[in-house]
């Protein structure tokens, strides 16, 4: 699988990247923050929703009755866990079509499409075939993000973050499982073309404690135009991202 890292950015300031204070352009109604378990996607989604006064949509992982059992025995509970997530995510996606009178934009901490990453990693045979049938019925009627922000990290940093947040069912997280998911996410998002994509080098940044790094991410998200895939290194505060159309 492809495990490329984001390339270094150029040195000039792009004209399309706004200066603070940041506001979202009209073209960005639906933004998704994505990443492997422990990447910080929920934290960043909360911060950006507050920054841009957007509606926040969070994945309801705590409502999945099979999740703790899945981490104890992945082979035994993978199918039940995956279908429960699929149903929950689809229900939330349908609700995004409803008009919100108080928020113009929506920021979510997951993409509906990423459900398949886990399914193909955890399921096989008839279970995977049934899943694909259900996903194929649901996916065409879910909204397409105007922008996806993929927080690319390393397995070591992901494991550190997982340990720090202290969820009981993640205490014995298998590093090999995170490594495999890391590879699967990279494989998926380096081939992603459904909507504009920002790939953020999130290994060394701390957008919770470092306001400068958070501002840098907000600045790129609020860029007036997003085309193809853009690689962002928030540590290069005055840099220009390189773009692939």
pLDDT at 6: 43
- Cα 15 from chain centroid? 26
- CB-side exposure of 13: number of CA atoms within 13 Å? 8
Is 242 in contact with 14 (CB distance < 8 Å)? no
| Residue 129: band (very low, low, confident or very high) from pLDDT cuts 50, 70, 90 | very high
The overall average pLDDT reported for the chain is 85
Compare 20 and 159 and report the one with higher pLDDT. 159
Q: Is a pLDDT exceeding 80 seen at residue 195?
A: yes
Compare 98 and 238 and report the one with higher pLDDT. 98
Lowest mean per-residue pLDDT among 77-91, 117-131, 161-175: 161-175
Average pLDDT over residues 151-177: 88
Residue bearing tokens 């879910």: 142
- CB-side exposure of 136: number of CA atoms within 13 Å? 6
The domain spans of the chain are 30-61+105-115+144-244
Right CATH for 30-61+105-115+144-244 from 3.40.50.10420, 3.40.50.1970, 3.40.50.620, 3.40.50.300: 3.40.50.300
pTM value? Answer: 0.83
Query: 229: alpha, beta or left, given left = phi > 0 and alpha = psi -120 to 50?
Result: beta
Average pLDDT over residues 141-157: 95
| Among 100-109, 140-149, 169-178, 224-233, the range of highest mean pLDDT | 140-149
- Cα 157 from chain centroid? 16
pLDDT at 235: 64
Phi first, then psi: what are they for 214, rounded to 5°? Answer: -65, -45
Nearest to 55 by CA among 84, 81, 31: 31
| Residue 226: band (very low, low, confident or very high) from pLDDT cuts 50, 70, 90 | confident
**Residue pLDDT, tens place only, 205-224:** 888 888 888 888 898 899 86
């Amino acid at each position: 699988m492809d495990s490329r890292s984001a390339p270094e950015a150029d040195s000039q300031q792009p004209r399309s990247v706004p200066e603070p204070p940041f506001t979202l352009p009209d073209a960005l109604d639906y933004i998704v923050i994505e990443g492997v378990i422990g990447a910080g996607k929920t934290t960043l989604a909360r911060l950006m929703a507050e920054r841009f006064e957007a509606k926040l949509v969070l994945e309801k992982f705590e409502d999945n009755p099979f999740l703790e059992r899945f981490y104890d025995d992945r082979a035994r509970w993978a199918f039940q866990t995956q279908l429960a997530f699929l149903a929950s995510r689809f229900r939330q996606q349908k609700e995004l079509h409803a008009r919100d009178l108080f928020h113009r934009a929506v920021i979510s901490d997951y993409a509906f499409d990423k459900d398949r990453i886990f399914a193909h990693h955890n399921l096989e045979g008839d279970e995977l075939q049934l899943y694909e049938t259900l996903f194929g019925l649901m996916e065409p009627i879910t909204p397409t993000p105007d922008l996806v922000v993929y927080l690319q990290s390393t397995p070591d940093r992901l494991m550190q973050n997982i340990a720090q947040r202290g969820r009981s069912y993640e205490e014995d997280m298998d590093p090999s499982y995170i490594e495999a998911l890391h590879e699967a996410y990279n494989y998926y998002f380096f081939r992603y073309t459904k909507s504009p994509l920002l790939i953020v080098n999130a290994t060394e940044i701390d957008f919770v404690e470092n306001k400068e790094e958070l501002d840098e991410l907000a600045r790129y998200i609020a860029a007036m135009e997003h085309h193809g895939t853009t690689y962002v290194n928030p540590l290069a505060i005055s840099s220009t991202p390189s773009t692939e159309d």
